[in-house]
Amino acid sequence: MKDALGAFVPGTDVRVQGSAEGPLSGLSFAVKDLFDVAGHVTGCGNPDWAESHAPAESHAWAVRTLLDAGASVAGKTITDEISLGLVGINRHHGTPVNPRARDLVPGGSSSGSASAVAGGVVDFALGTDSGGSVRTPASFCGLYGLRPTHGRIPVEGLMTQAPSFDTVGYFTRDAGMFARVGSVLLGETIGEDLPPGILVATDCFGIADAAVTDALRPVLDRLRAVVPETRDCRLADDGAIADWSRHQLVLQSTEFQDTFRDWIDRVNPRFSSEVAGAFASDGTVPAEVVESAKAFRIAARERLEGLLDGKRVLCLPTAPIPPIRRDARLSEIRRAVSRVIDLTAIAGLTGSPQVNLPFGWAGGIPIGLSLIGWHGGDAALIGMAKAMEPLLRSKVALPLC
């Protein structure tokens, strides 16, 4: 396969023809190499994982559903190792190109899927999002991206990372395709309605870089003009928004250490230093810290659901920083990941659906705006994206490569 973007897993050529008829007939999609495609090893971004696992016997639920709807698999895309990472650097398989910012990272862990969609190689792509792995690359590559309500789209046939966080998401370049694919994965009709109310999370904007807030200010201004019921709010009623990521990290890392413990012990796998660092604590988090994080998660869900009240959406930057350079040092990667999680932890912790809207630009670099919806409000969120696109998307022509 010709792969100028380095988006696909090296040495693989995975193609599956979709059904002859269906709502996605004639479309092509890429599959993050975390989903099973029958007959192929699901490599999960790590050669030692690939070597220690047999080929999948059947398609993952999401892959099968999209094939049944008429779309065809065009290949399997690079993921950050075992889905741990948010910048999109994979030291084994390479870092996929961000077609909208070639010197910068594509974001991860669904890096290759975002790269392939942004570069126009496929019509859409499947990703996964446990701690921000669809939202971050969608923001960095200027794409529509959904992290659904936790549990809304089946994770069957997907590598488990952290079960109470894992979700199936996807990327598209425009809102029409976003709605077409969403309708199939959710099994719901997608409307085209602006939200009745928007809460702009001032504390989330408050921890973002100036480059991000400057890029999103004109978008917010247009948003206020088209949705009169837009008002400011603080998400964290007491304490700092950074508390959310601290608790998310405790719970997510406790879960993924449980997930991978036996495999690591058996295989002694090779990881980049970035990913190895995620296992440094070796699961030795005190039980009371875990319990405290679980209590915080319950309160956080109640807080957010209360604010949204089944009709409003929370508006925030998807990531508080622009994409970093592809040749960033490990310490810069770690700082960036830590910054990004500060905002992606919100929907991670609450299990809420979130869409990235590719409406911001900072000197040609994509800056994503996010809407977080109420539990089960996935189709409504996608419909809002569709309604907003003609009103809010930059009129600047966006180059595709």
Residues that bind its own copies (CB under 8 A): 48, 89, 91-92, 264-274, 276-277, 279-282, 329-331, 333
Total count of residues recorded for the chain: 401
Q: Minimum distance from CB of 63 to its own copies (Å)?
A: 29
Instruction: Tell me how far, at minimum, the Cβ of 25 lies from its own copies, in Å.
Output: 42
**Sign of the CA dihedral running 225, 230, 233, 235:** negative
Which of these, 308, 327, 320, 309, lies nearest to 242 by C-alpha position?
320
Cβ neighbours, 10 Å, residue 20: 8
* 325, burial (CB in 10 Å: exposed 0-12, middle 13-18, buried 19+): middle
- The token duo for 342 is 């500060």
Backbone angles phi, psi at 312, to 5 degrees: -95, 165
- Measure CA of the first residue to CA of the last residue in the chain; give whole Å: 17
Element of type H or E holding 125: strand 124-128
Closest approach of its own copies to the CB of residue 67, in Å: 35
Query: Taking the complex as a whole, how short is the minimal distance between the CB of residue 388 and its own copies, in angstroms?
Result: 38
Backbone angles phi and psi of 194, in degrees to 5: -65, 155
Active site includes 72?
no
- For residues 314 and 199, the answer to whether their CB atoms sit within 8 Å is yes
Nearer to its own copies, 56 or 328 (CB): 328
* Nearest CB to its own copies, comparing residues 205 and 271: 271
Nearer to its own copies, 28 or 272 (CB): 272
Phi-psi region of 138 (alpha: psi -120 to 50; beta: other; left: phi over 0): alpha
Eight-state DSSP code of residue 9: P
Smaller CB separation from its own copies, 57 or 282:
282
Q: CB–CB of 374/308 below 8 Å?
A: yes
CA separation for the pair 204, 321 (Å, rounded): 12
The H or E element that residue 74 is part of is strand 72-77
Q: Please, are residues 23 and 180 in contact by the beta-carbon 8 Å criterion?
A: yes
> Closest distance between its own copies and the C-beta of residue 101, in Å?
20
Give the other-Cβ count within 10 Å of 177's Cβ: 18
Catalytic residue among 32, 83, 110, 272: 32
Q: Measured from the CB atom, is 202 or 281 closer to its own copies?
A: 281
The nearest distance, CB 330 to its own copies, in angstroms, is 5
Q: How far is CA 223 from the centre of its chain?
A: 23
Rounded distance, CA 401 to CA 394, Å? 18
Catalytic-labelled residue, pool 72, 83, 109, 139? 109
Concerning whether 109 is annotated as a catalytic residue, the answer is: yes
Of residues 111, 115, 133, 352, which has the active-site annotation? 133
- The b/e string for 303-320 (b: 16+ C-beta within 10 A; e otherwise) is ebeebbeeebbbbbbbbb
Contact call for residues 46 and 81 (beta carbons, < 8 A): yes
Nearest distance, CB of residue 324 and its own copies, angstroms: 13
CB closer to its own copies out of 54 and 280: 280
Please identify, using beta-carbon distances, which residue of 213 and 272 lies nearer to its own copies.
272
* Residue placing its CB nearer to its own copies in the complex, 123 or 274: 274
Tell me, rounded to whole angstroms, the distance of Cα 296 from its chain centroid: 23
Instruction: Give the integer Cα–Cα distance in Å for 329 and 119.
Output: 26
- Give least dist CB 76 to its own copies, A: 21
Active-site residue list: 32, 109, 133
